[in-house]
Amino acid sequence: MSAHVIRAGRKAARWGMALSLLVLGLAACDLDVSNPGPVADEFLDNPAAFAAIVNGMGRELSDALNWIGITSAIVTRELHATSGTPVQGVPAEAHNGKLSPEFDQQWTRSQRARWVSEDGIRRFKEVWGTTTYASTREGARANLWAGYAYRLIGENYCQSVIDGGPALADTVFLRNAEARFTEAIDVAGRANLSDVAMAARAARASVRAFLGNWAGAAQDAAAVPTDFVYRMPYFDRAVVDEYNWIYYAAASVPWTVHSVWNTPQEQYYTDTRDPRTPWTTVAGRPYGDGALAAPIGRVPFYRERKYTANSSPINLSTGREMRLIEAEAALVGGDWQKAMTTVNALRQAVGVAPWTASGAEEAWTRLKRERGIELWLEARRLGDFRRWVRDRRPGDLHILETNPPSGPDLRGRDLCFPIAQSETDTNPHLE
Amino acid sequence: MCFTRRFLLAAVCVLAATAVRDGWSQTLTIRGDAGRDGTEVGGAPAVERSAALVVNEVPGGTALTPLSGRASSRPRQGSVVGTVTLRGLGTPLSSAQVYIPGTGIGALTNASGRYLLPSVPAGEHTLRVERLGYGPVQRTVLVREDASTVENFELSEEALALDAIVVTGTPGQARRREVGNTVAQVTVTDVVAAPTNIDALLRGRVAGLNVTGVTGQAGTGADIRLRGVVSVAMSNQPLIYIDGVRVRGDAYPTNNPPVGGSAQLYGPFNRNSPLNDINPEDIERVEVVKGAAATTLYGTEAAVGVIQIFTKRGRSGRPVWDLRVDQGISKILPFGVRETLRGTPVESLGVVHQAGGTPQYWFLDPWLRNAWQQSYNLSVRGGTELLRYYLSGSFDDRDFPLPSDSEKKYSVRGNFGIALSEQFLLDWNTSLNASEVHNTSTGNNVHGLTLNVIRDNRNYMNDGSKEKLDSLLDQELKTQIDRLTTGVTLSYTPVPHFTNRFTAGYDRSEWEGTNLRPYGFILWKPGFMSVKRFTNSTVSLDYVGTYELRLASELRSSFSFGVQSIRTEEHDLSGWSEEFPGPGLPTISTGAKTLATETRLKVITGGGFAQSLFDYKNRYFLTVGLRVDGNSAFGQDFGLQAYPKASFSYVLSDEGFWPESWGEVKLRAAYGHAGRAPGAFDAVRTWTPDGWGGQPAFRPRNVGNAGLGPERTGELEVGFDAAFLDNRLSTEFTYYVQKTTGALLSVRQIPSEGNWGSQLENVGKLQNKGVELAVDATLIRKPSLTWAAGFTLSTNFSEVLSLGGAPSFSVGNYGFVREGDPVGVLVGINIKNPREVAEPVLERNYAFGPSQPTHIWLFRTSFSLPGGLELAGRGEYQTGGWVNDGGTRFGLTRGAPYPHCYDAVADIEAGRRDNLTAQERIWCIPQRLLGDVFMYPKTFFKLREVWLRIPLGTVVPRTSDASVTLSGQNVWTWLHKDFLAWDPEQGGFFGAGYLVNRLWEHTPPPAVFTASARVTF
C-alpha cells in the first residue's frame, strides 16, 4: 500500500472520527428521556397518593358493577334485551338465561376491582405500618371497596380465582368480603367515618345472609336504620366510563339495548305505580335498537326510570335491604307472619298495597318478589336466585323470571357467571 | 394552520405567475426562432441568437432586441442538437438527460427525442446521455463557434442496469452490481397515469409490497406491508425516508373524540397517512428495501423494511417548466352483497330499504356520487454548475363519492443543490404541505351515514327514510394537516476517495381533527364537539463517511462508517365539549361539560455502524457490516443491540467465459439482522393518573417487564437478476426467509392478578418466507409497434414457530397468534354444510388462514403504437388471505334487512324454518348468530390501471413537449365466489393500522378516471 494511501487513510480516519464525535455529541445531549403521563409504580408509595389510590378502587368497582349489573339484569329478566348485538354488556345469550365464559369484561373488571383494593391495602400497610394504617380514612374506605368487590364476585360467580390461583368456591369470596367489611368497621370506627362503618355493617349483613349465617346477618341488619343508604356514585362528566351504564345503555344516545318489556316489572308497574320500578315509553322510539329471533322480532322499547341520568347512583347497601334480610331470617326461622309484616311495612312506606300470604310458601314467594322489586337493577338478583335454589327455599319466582320454563329449581338457566375464558387460558391452575 | 395554508396558496400563485412570465419569455424566444427557419425546436443559429436577445413584451407582439454592446465581447459559442432514439428501432426517447459533465450545460429530450444545448463554449466536450432503464452513452464532440453540431444517440435498454446507482440499504450510493440484496425501485417518470397519492403509486408495483386497509373516503391512508407481517405487537409500517431524512410513517390519529366508551366511536373511521402529504409529482423515484438482510444499517426499527423517497433535483441547464393538469371523476364500483345471496325482498315483512338503493351498493346509491377531482402541478428545474434548483407547487381539489367527502391539498417544494467549493456540496430540500379534508361519517359508527343507511329501520333512529338519514350529514368531520419536511445534506470530500455526508433533517406535522355534532343533531340533540391537535416532529442527524482504497490491482475496498440519531416527539392535545346552550358555531368552551386530555411522547433512537465492501475484479462483491443501536424505551442504559450483516454479489456474466450474447446474470445473497423496539412505556410498571367524579384516581396501566428488549429479525435472502435475448427478457428471482427471535408478543396476563391487560414480552419466534419472481419480456419490438408484458409473483408464508410458553392470544378481529399457524391467523367457526337444508354442522376453532395474502400476482403490459401512442395496463391478483366481516354480522344480529336473509325471513315468518339452509339458520336468527362465521377468502383480481398516452409533441404552441393521458385506476374487480360482501381491500375499524383487518361499514377505494394534460416549456 503506498504512502499516499496511508496518509490519505489517516486523514480520512481523523475527519471521520471528528464528524462522528460531532454527531454523537449532538445526539448524546439528550439520550435520557422522561415522558410525562403514566406514573411509575414506586411513586404510589408516597402517602400523598393514597387518597387517589382509594378513588381508583372506587372507580374500578363502579366499572365492574356496571358490567355485572347490566348483564345479570338481562339473564335474570330484570330487563329484556332488544337486540342480538352484544353491546353495552347485553349479550343475546343472556336473554336466554345463558352466561358464557366469553363474557370477559364482567370477569376482568370485577377481578381488577378486587385486586386494586387488596394491592392498595397492602401498600398502605407497608408504607404506614399496620398501627397507623388501622385508623386511617383511606384504610377504612379501601376495606369497604374491597369488601364490595368480593361480594360482587361471590354473589355472581359460583367459582372464582384470587391472584392466579386455583378456582375457589363463592363462599371463599363471601368470607373474604365479610373479613374486609369487619376490618372496615374497625378502621372506620377509629377514623370516625360513621357512614363507612354503617355501610360495612349493612354489607356484612348481606354477605352473612348469603353464607347462611342468619343470626349474624340479622344482628348486623338490626344495627342499620331503615333510611340508611350507601350508594355507588356515578358521574355525568364527559367520560362515559363514569356513567351509570344501565341508564346510558337505554338513553338513546344512541343505544336502546334493553327494555322493561316482557319483564316482571312491566305489568307490576302498570298495576301499582310502585316508585321503585318505574318505566316509560319514549316518543319516537317505539322499538329498541335491533331485533331478536322470531317470534320476538323487534322489542318494544320501555325505558326503565329507576335511573334517570348518567349520574344516577346504584345502591350498595340500604336499610330497606336490612329489613328484607330480617324478614328472610324470620322466614328461615319459620315465622312467616313476622316476615310479611316486615315486608308490608316497606311497601306501605312507598305507597303500594301490601302483599297477602296464607302460609310460609306464599310468604317466600312474596319475599322473593319483594327483593326483586327493592333491589331491582342493583346486581343482586342472580345471587338471590342461586342461594334460594341452593337452600331449596320454597315459593315461586315470577313466571317471566323462569322463562324459558325451567321449573322451580331453575334448571337450564345459568345461576352464576362462569370463570372467563381469558382466565382459563392464562391461569396455570385452571384446566 | 390558516397562515400556512395562505402561505402555500400564495407560494403556488407566485410560482404560477413566475411560470407564466418566464415560460412566456422562453417560448417567445423559441417561437421567434422557429418562425424564422421552420425548425421544430430551433436551429442552432436561431438559438444562438436567442441567447443574445432579450425579450420585450410589447402590445400586439414581441420584439427581439439584440443585446447591444455585448455581442462583440461574448465568448465563442456554438450549439449541439440531435435526437435520442432506441437502438435498433429508432423510437424517440423522451426525458433522456443530455449534458456535458462539469459544465452545468444540459437538457432533456422532448417527446420526439430531440434535444438542444445552446450556448456551448466552442471546443471539445464530452457529451453524456442518460435515461433510467437504458445504458448511458457518452461521446466526445467538437463544438464550433456560431455553428450547430448535430449529435444523435442511440440508447440500449438495460434490463438490469448494473451500473445504476441505488441508495437504499447502503451507507451511501452503490452500484446495483455491488448490492447483495434486492432493491425494488419505482421510477415515477415511468408512471404515466397520475397517482393521487403515494399509496396509490406503490400499490401493485413492487414485489412483496402489499397496500391494504384503505377506504373510499377523502384523505384515507393505507397499511403498507413488506413481505408480510414481521412484528406482532409493533407497527409493521415501513420506515420512511425522504431525501435521506427520516419522516413519520405511521398513520395520524383518528378524528375521534377523546372521551371513553362508546363516544370514542363517533369519528370518520379512517386515518390519514403522512405518506400522502407528499406530492407524487415531486418524486423522482422510490426505493423499497424489504427485509432485515438489507435494512441492517437502519438498525433497531428497520426490521419491517424501509421506503426511501427521492424527490426531483435541479439539472444544469435552462429552466424547464412542467405543467400538469388532471381532471377526473371518482366513482364507487359495486361492493355490496354478492348476487348469489340476493333473495327476494318481501315488503310486507319490512325487509325493503325505505330510502331505496340496491344491494350491490349496500343501499347507499342515493348518497353516492360521481365526484369531480382536479389537480394542478407546476414545476421548474434548472441551474448552473454552482446552483441547481427544482421548484414546484401543486393544488389538488378532490371530491369523493360519499356526499361530505372532499380534500383540498396545497404543496410547495424547493430543492437546491449548491456547490460551495470543489470539496463541499450542499443539498437543501424543503417541502411544505397543507391539506384540508372533510369526511362523511362512516364505518361502524352509530352516528354514521353508512351504518344507519345499511341497517335501515334497525338503525339508531328506528327510521330508514332518506329524510331522516340525510340529517346525519349535519355533522362535521374536518381534518387539517400542515407538514414541513426539510433536510440539509452536506457532502464533503477532503481528499480523493474519502467522502463525508452529513444530513440533518426535520419533519414536523400538525394534524388537527374537528368533530362536531351541532346543537339539535338528530342523534345527540344537545350537540358535542371535539378538537384534537396532534403534532409530530422528527429530528434526524446522520453522518456517513466512506473511504475507498485500492488494496491490490483488482481488489478495491470501500469502508463506510457512521452514526445516526433519530429523535421523535409526539404531542396529542384534545378537547371535548358537549351540551351546547343553543344553535351557533361552538368552540370547546361552549358546552356545559368539557374535558381535556393530553399525551406527550419522546423517543430517541441512535447508534452507529461500520461496513466494508470488497470489490474484486468488478464482479465479486462482498459486504460485511455491523450496526449497534439503542433506544430510549430501555431507560438510561439505552439497551444497545448489535446487528450484523453480510452480503455477496457476483456478476456472473462479466466472466470471460460468458458470451455477451447470453445476456447478463447477477447472483446475490445477503444475510442480516434488524430490530423493532417496544414502546416508550412498555418496560416499566405504570399507573394512569385518572379521575373519578372530579377527584384524582390511579388506575392500572401497564404491568411492566424490566427485561424487555427489541425483537430481532434475521433474514437470509438469495436470488439472481438476469437479462437475456438482447435484454428482451429479464427476470429477477429472490428467495427469503426471515426469523424473528425474541419477538415482542402481547402476552395475556392472568386477569385475576389485577387485569393489567397484556404485557409485551420477548418470547416469540416467528418465521416468514417466500419467493419473489419478476419476469418481463418485450414480445414485439418493431418500429411501429412494441408490446411488452410481464408479471411478478410474490409469496409469503408466515408461521408462529414458538410462543415461548405463552398461551395463544387474540390480536383482534378474530386474528390469533398460535403456534404452528400463520401470524395473525383467522380462527372461527366453519359451517361445513352451508348450503344444505339441515341443521348446521359447525367446526369450531377452525383456522381459515392468514390475514395477509400468501400469493400476490402483478400483471402488466404495454404497447407502443404508431404515432407515439402508448397503451398500458396493470392488474393485481391476490389470494391466500382471509378476513372477517363485522359489518354484516352486526347488522344481522340486529335483524337488519340484508339480502342474506330475504328468503329466510319469509320462511321464518311463514313457519317454514325447516326450509332454511344451515347457513341461514346461523345467519338469519339473530340470537344464534356468531361473529366468527363470517370469514371470507380475500381472493380477488383488480385492474389497477389502464392508460393511454397521446403525445402531442410541440403541437401546442410555445411548448417543447406536450401529451394527454387518459387513465382509469381500480376500474374492475373480480372476487372469489365466497367473498360475500364489501371489498377485500377495505379498511378496518379505523381504516388503517391493524395486524388483522375486519370489514366494516366502509366504502372501498373508488375507481378514478382521469384525463391529464402535461406540457413542458
Q: List the grid coordinates of B286.
A: 422510490
Q: For residue B697, give the nearest of A56, A84, A422 by CB distance.
A: A56
Residue B7 lies in a domain: no
> Alpha carbon of B550 to those of A7, B498, B547, B649: distances in Å?
14, 12, 10, 19
Whether B919 and B774 map to the same domain: the answer is: yes
Evaluate whether the domain defined by A48-234+314-394 bears CATH number 1.25.40.390.
yes
State the cell numbers at A58: 372506587
What sign does the CA torsion over B679, B682, B688, B689 have? negative
Residue B265: predicted pLDDT: 65
Taking an 8 Å cut-off on Cβ atoms, the answer to whether B462 and A284 are in contact is yes
- Strands B165-166 and B174-175, bridge-based pairing: antiparallel
Question: Same structural domain for residues B463 and B383?
Answer: yes
Work out the number of other CB atoms within 10 angstroms of the CB of residue A175.
Answer: 16
d(CA B989, CA B976): 23
Here the cell at position A46 is: 408516597
Task: Pick the closest to residue B287 from B161, B388, B472, B411 (CA basis).
Answer: B161
**Co-location of B141 and B267 in the same domain:** no
Q: Extract the residue ranges of chain B whose pLDDT is less than 70.
A: 1-75, 159, 167-171, 260-265, 348-351, 635-638, 927-928
CB A295 within 8 A of CB B905: no
Say if residue B120 is in the same domain as residue B260: no
Q: In this predicted structure, what is the pLDDT of residue B263? A: 59
User: Is position B83 within any domain?
Assistant: yes
H or E stretch at A11: helix A3-28
Q: Among all residues of chain B, which has the CA nearest to that of A428?
A: B750
Write the pLDDT tens digit of every residue in B105-115: 888 887 778 88
pLDDT for res B57: 31
β B239-242/B306-311 pair status: parallel
Is residue A96 within 8 angstroms of chain B, CB to CB? yes
Show the low-confidence residues of chain A (pLDDT under 50): 1
Shortest Cα distance, chain A CAs vs residue B157, angstroms? 38
Q: Please list, residue by residue across B874-909, b when 16 or more beta carbons sit within 10 angstroms of its beta carbon and e when fewer do.
A: bbbbbbbbbbbbbbbbbbbbbbbbbbbbbbbbbbbb
User: Which stretches does DSSP call E strand in B420-527?
Assistant: 424-439, 476-495, 498-517
Distance from CA of A103 to the nearest CA of B (A): 13
User: Rounded CA gap, B732 and B772, in Å?
Assistant: 8
- pLDDT value at position A88? 72
Alpha helical stretches, state H, A129-166: 130-133, 137-156
Strands B114-121 and A39-40: unpaired
Joined grid coordinates for residue B344: 327476494
> How many contacts, defined by CB atoms under 8 Å, are there between A and B?
287
Distance CA A26, CA A4 (A): 33
What pLDDT sits at residue A369?
Answer: 98
Q: To which residue does cell 358546552 refer?
A: B591
Is B598 in the same domain as B660? yes
Q: How far apart are CA B645 and CA B674, in angstroms?
A: 9
| B724 CB burial (10 A radius; 0-12, 13-18, 19+) | middle
Which of B704, B684, B806, B756 lies closest to A111, judged by CA?
B756
Q: Give the whole-angstrom CA distance, residue B400 versus residue B912.
A: 45
Q: What is the rounded CA–CA span in Å between residue B183 and residue A401? A: 68
pLDDT at B25: 34
Residue ending a domain, choose from B104, B139, B155: B155
Instruction: List the single residue in A20, A38, A427 with the smallest CB-CB distance to B750.
Output: A427
Handedness of CA B656, B660, B665, B666 (dihedral sign): positive
Please check whether residues B194 and B139 belong to one and the same domain: no
B1004 half-sphere exposure, CB direction, 13 A CA radius: 25
Is B901 domain-assigned?
Answer: yes
Sheet-wide strand order for B695-702: A39-40, B686-692, B695-702
**Domain positions in chain A:** 48-234+314-394, 240-304
Same domain, B199 and B72: no
Q: Output DSSP code: residue B894.
A: T
> What pLDDT was estimated at residue B356?
86
For residue B63, the tally of other CB atoms under 10 A from its CB is 12
For residue B929, give the nearest of A35, A84, A239 by CB distance.
A84
B58: buried, middle or exposed (CB in 10 Å: 19+, 13-18, 0-12)? exposed
Three-state secondary-structure class, residue A52: helix
List, in sequence order, every beta strand (DSSP E) within A249-366. 258-259, 279-281, 302-304, 314-318
Cα separation of the two ends of chain B: 34
Rounded Cα gap, residues A258 and A81, in angstroms: 5
List all residues of chain A from 358 to 387 with a beta carbon under 8 Å from chain B.
none
User: Are residues B141 and B219 both part of a single domain?
Assistant: no
**B768 & B626 share domain:** yes
Residues B481 and B600 in one domain: yes
Sign of CA dihedral A140, A146, A151, A154: negative
* All residues at 6 or more sequence positions from B912 whose CB lies less than 8 Å from its CB, including other chains: none
* Phi, then psi, of A326 in degrees rounded to 5: -60, -40
Q: Pick from B262, B752, B895: which is nearest to A164 by CB?
A: B752
CA angle B785, B323, B131 (to 5 degrees): 45
Cα A253 to chain centroid, rounded: 23
**Owning domain of residue B431:** 184-315+336-1016
Contact B603 A33 (CB under 8 A): yes
pLDDT at A77: 94
CATH number, domain of B800, equals: 2.40.170.20
Q: What nine digits make up the cell of A155?
A: 354473589
> What contacts B901, CB < 8 A, 6 or more positions away?
B343, B351, B892, B920, B923, B924
Count of domains observed in chain B: 2
Residues B580 and B516 in one domain: yes
Please give the Cα distance from B783 to B92 (Å, whole number): 10
**Does residue B2 sit within a domain?**
no
Q: The CATH number of the domain where B150 resides is what?
A: 2.60.40.10
The C-alpha of B736 sits at a distance from chain A's nearest C-alpha, in angstroms, of: 34
In a shared domain, residues B142 and B189: no
Residue A282 contacts B where some CB pair is shorter than 8 Å: no
Phi, psi of A428 (to 5 degrees): -65, -15
Residues of A in contact with B908 (CB under 8 A): 294
- CA B93 → CA A2, A50, B153, B562, B656, distances in Å? 46, 77, 10, 40, 32
Question: Is residue B576 within 8 Å of residue B564, measured between CB atoms?
Answer: no
pLDDT digit string, tens, across residues B780-836: 988 889 999 999 999 999 999 999 888 888 888 999 999 999 999 999 999 999 999
Residues of B in contact with A238 (CB under 8 A): 259, 576-578, 593-595
